[in-house]
Amino acid sequence: PLPSGRIAYRTLGDYERELRELAARYPELVRLVRLDHQTLEGRWVYGVEIAHGVQMPDGRPVFLLMGLHHAREWPSGEHAMEFAYDLVRHAYTDPRIARLLREGRALIVPVVNPDGFEKSRAAGALEWKRKNCRQWDGVVEHPVAECATYADNGLTSRGVDVNRNYGGFWGGRGSSDQWWAQDYRGQAPFSEPETRNVRDLVASRQVTVLISNHTYGNLVLRSPGVAGGNAPEESLYQALGDRMATQNGYTSQAAYQLYPTNGTVEDWAYYATGALGYTFEINPKDFHPDFGSAVIDEYLGHGVYAGKGNREAYLVAFETAVDPGYHGVVTG
């Protein structure tokens, strides 16, 4: 079973309640974090910080795990949330996890785009919504209330793609300047509360490794998002991607090999802060298939990866976040 015991996709209410409960129940270990900027519909975005002595002010290195930049990609939030339960459950009993929580901190933000997720999770007309609730139509900004009814698919899709709005190489080939496009980048870098939230959270901590969960494709993606002369020189970046892929069975590659992108969280993180940023694409072929395969099997590992899965990939990421040399990679 999963660390939480869940057998069905969470709602937005489930996420918020569980984050609060974890923090209330384990104050030595879990701190509720409210990000700085309210969404367009007026929601706060929440996460948890997990560490031994979590309330202590210090500069321990941080592993940041995020889900649900894209509304319809439900497993992406589930895997982040399950990792939070996993860390809490084993914080005192598993020496590997106990050490990580002494030497570093985990920051987990399962729902980066709550406005969009809430629409998709209702599984009605907006089930396949991807973007946020920005109601710009190229001429005027409509009332945000229209987000609940205005379709976000096809050629009249309002909203900004939260994973094209970061400042890293924002603009140009790899995103759209058309308001209706699925990869619409918004009117300026960090124009959206969702990306400002992540930017300011990272600026407030010592984030060394981050993973942004998506669906789908069974991929571990790293910068750069466009082909060219800006490929990272540092071998640790590729080595950690490859090492995580040996745990979850995904394919490790540079993001541009999928298709060109810019303004993604990993491009911003890597080039602006130096943090090793990755996109995980969970599940072989669906945005949110039946819970069993995409969440239970892929989190815990299955088939020849039984006992591995994203659980083990995240632990390897956390170990590298705490100590870049932990897995013996020689850089340079």
| Least distance in angstroms from the C-beta of 226 to ligand 0X9 | 8
| Least distance in angstroms from the C-beta of 57 to Zn ion | 34
Q: What end-to-end distance do the CA atoms of the chain give, in Å? A: 41
214 binds Zn ion (CB under 5 A): yes
Q: Angle of helix 309-322 relative to helix 95-103, nearest 10 degrees? A: 40
Question: Considering CB distances under 5 to 8 angstroms, the limit depending on partner class, which of ligand 0X9, Zn ion, none binds residue 221?
Answer: ligand 0X9
| Interaction site with ligand 0X9 (CB under 6 A) | 70, 73, 163, 214, 221, 225, 255, 258, 261, 264, 267, 279, 281
Q: Are 60 and 51 in contact (CB under 8 A)?
A: yes
Nearer to ligand 0X9, 61 or 75 (CB): 75
Nearer to Zn ion, 52 or 214 (CB): 214
158 binds Zn ion (CB under 5 A): no
Question: Considering CB distances under 5 to 8 angstroms, the limit depending on partner class, which of ligand 0X9, Zn ion, none binds residue 279?
Answer: ligand 0X9
| Least distance in angstroms from the C-beta of 272 to Zn ion | 21
304 to 323: interface string for Zn ion, x by CB under 5 A: --------------------
- From residue 136, give the alpha-carbon distance in Å to each of 133, 140, 263: 9, 6, 19
| Least distance in angstroms from the C-beta of 71 to ligand 0X9 | 11
Give the residue nearest to Zn ion (CB): 214
> What's the rounded Cα separation, in Å, for the pair 321 and 313?
12
> What's the rounded Cα separation, in Å, for the pair 315 and 332?
24
| Least distance in angstroms from the C-beta of 279 to ligand 0X9 | 4
222 binds Zn ion (CB under 5 A): no
| Least distance in angstroms from the C-beta of 20 to ligand 0X9 | 28
Q: What is the size of the binding site for Zn ion (CB under 5 A)?
A: 3
Candidate segments 27-35, 69-77, 205-213, 304-312, binder of Zn ion by CB under 5 A? 69-77
60 binds Zn ion (CB under 5 A): no
70 binds Zn ion (CB under 5 A): yes
What is the pairing mode between strands 105-109 and 219-222?
A: unpaired
| Least distance in angstroms from the C-beta of 278 to Zn ion | 13
Question: Considering CB distances under 5 to 8 angstroms, the limit depending on partner class, which of Zn ion, ligand 0X9, none binds residue 120?
Answer: none
Residues binding Zn ion (CB under 5 A):
70, 73, 214
